[in-house]
Chain A
């Protein structure tokens, strides 16, 4: 079917560049500081200062400067390789499933808006609201074929009991499912918001052209929200590579079943809390910070999420 509307919506009318001689309002600087100040203060106190302290700590051992000792010790640790492998596998399963879930649910919500939309958004958000030992118990029962509503499915996957579910490869799958359930809700709300902000005229034009819901989604909505999708993907990559809560929570429900150094962030935590080695913990945390920064850089530089000029924001 041919559509009269181009698949990519035309760029908005180019907005003339702001006049260089924009009159400077008095108090404008103050307003900027008022708005950005609190964030800057928080960033300094809870972001930059700890990172700086961590950098210092990562080069100190037993109270004296130790050069790269902590860094090489971390890289030599056999647990790092295992943890990195776990996290990589986790990301390979979790990211696509998360993205697919978020996209399909957000688009479905948008394609069939109704009274239930608001309630459903809340429902998607709910799994993330169950935390701590309650979550541990909940998930332990979810993966126990005898008590789980998904028992037949689990048995189909050759999971006979919770011990099976929480060992080896199936543990990663369980964590991925947990991760999707916990994180999808928030992103669905974000993406649904982005879909709602799409220009109505374009969507109406598509409707007039007789585009089906599927084509509208595939050729119009998706291209228009693709920066948001990239944002979801990259932010999730950053948070997923730092996975900590899910394995930690799950291991409180099944003590001794899941290694306390299952993920890289858990290893950093174990360095500080069980090995009493803050230097190694700081080194590994900084390495993980680098992963997060890289993701942030990609978001800012490649997706143009933060572009202020509308001509850029395509």
Chain B
């Protein structure tokens, strides 16, 4: 009886969750219908897909809104693989790491786009942004939006405390330690899950998930690009200048309300979606600077935390061209992308998108120079992996835990490496 109830609860949960996505989850029946293009997009991308549908009355298109939960698309595709029907022709990924799952031999779902989307178009994307989609030299997806990290800071607090915006990580550390000492409770960064690992280790180029192909990944946390991050964060964690609280935690919002967020290196979307709506920081205070530079480098490199991507199904058959056309339009149409909520991956669209952002009265100063610099300086070696979830939780279990308990971060890297190795092997990678 209990098990039935658990199953019932799960079913209800699934229904409620899919209901949140909009027009009720992916009702399996696929683009088996002759010529009907089946398009799965999340709530945010639905109007754009509808717009494409309207503009192409000759092409039968069915747009289905899917929930944005991590794992949803692989789940549905896995079931479609089992029944050998019901694949969507086009799918939007809110978690682009899932491209690694969907392109794998086992799933065999993602179609290579190299012949479907001209190189000239692909070259128009932010440099390195399609690395997420590229395995063994083939491109399996197009990025819709990217999430390069910048150094967000509270310009009013910086002025009030008399600090300069740091240009190097050493200056960042100094400022952070000073702020934590002089203004107790103040933080200058968050080290939790993808926010910590993607921002700091991603920007440093530490190979935690450097995909060499669909079955090979390079993980080596003994490299200087990793140990220098541990060295940077060690004293800051001890003095609580960086927090292990996840930015989506209500307790983090309280830091914002209490004027305790001095700086926060984080993805581009933090600007519009976290500082105002979540942290309740009033307008005219937040500004963006390029990420600080690492020793021996003059270029500021960005890490990545998020973004989205479009895939075309390998089962689309005679609808493949149409599917590729829709994906190309959704990701590269300048007017469409300029109105999207997050930073467009297509460079020309990003420029247009930035025109509005530059005028946004929320920011203390124009954030676009820092954002576009970051978009053009994505640190290579941050690939899409099938063990994304473990990548996050293993970071928290090792580096995060050490930071919390005053442990040694560099030593914690060794245990993170162990966990990443195990996770990668379970994901059917060979680790190099």
Contacts and interface: CB of A to CB of B under 8 A. Distances in A.
B245 A131 contact: no
Q: Chain B, interface size: which category?
A: 35 or more
A277 B426 CA distance: 12
A234 to B, nearest CB: 10
A29 B192 CA distance: 65
B71 A277 contact: no
Given A235-B2, A273-B75, A292-B3, A132 B16 contact: yes
A245 B14 CA distance: 10
Nearest to A259: B393
Interface residues of A: mostly helix, strand, loop or mixed? helix
B106 A256 contact: no
A80 B10 CA distance: 22
A264 to B, nearest CB: 13
A111 to B, nearest CB: 26
Interface stretch (B23-31, B176-184, B247-255, B353-361): B247-255
B249 A162 contact: yes
A186 interface: yes
A274 interface: yes
A48 interface: no
A141 B250 contact: yes
Contacts of A292: 3
B17 interface: yes
Interface residues of B: mostly helix, strand, loop or mixed? helix
Interface in A74-90: 77-79
Contacts of A131: 9, 12-13, 16
Interface in A175-210: 182-183, 186
Nearest to B20: A133
A161 B251 contact: yes
A301 B69 CA distance: 44
Contacts of A272: 78
Interface in A145-192: 145-147, 160-164, 167-168, 182-183, 186
A126 interface: no
A238 B3 CA distance: 8
A278 B10 CA distance: 19
Nearest to A277: B106
Contact of B251 (A160, A236, A278): A160
Counting chain A CB atoms within 10 Å of each CB, which of B17, B101, B249, B427 scores highest? B249
Return the 9 tightest CB-CB contacts between A and B, nearest first. A132-B16, A161-B251, A239-B2, A273-B75, A132-B13, A256-B193, A144-B250, A256-B392, A259-B393
Given A132-B13, A239-B6, A259-B389, 8 more contacts: A135-B13, A161-B250, A183-B2, A236-B2, A259-B390, A272-B78, A276-B74, A277-B106
20 contacts: A131-B9, A132-B17, A133-B16, A134-B16, A140-B250, A146-B251, A146-B254, A161-B249, A161-B251, A183-B2, A235-B1, A239-B2, A244-B6, A245-B13, A252-B17, A257-B396, A259-B393, A261-B390, A275-B106, A276-B74
Interface of A: 77-79, 128, 131-135, 140-141, 144-147, 160-164, 167-168, 182-183, 186, 235-236, 238-239, 242, 244-245, 248-249, 252, 254-261, 272-278, 292
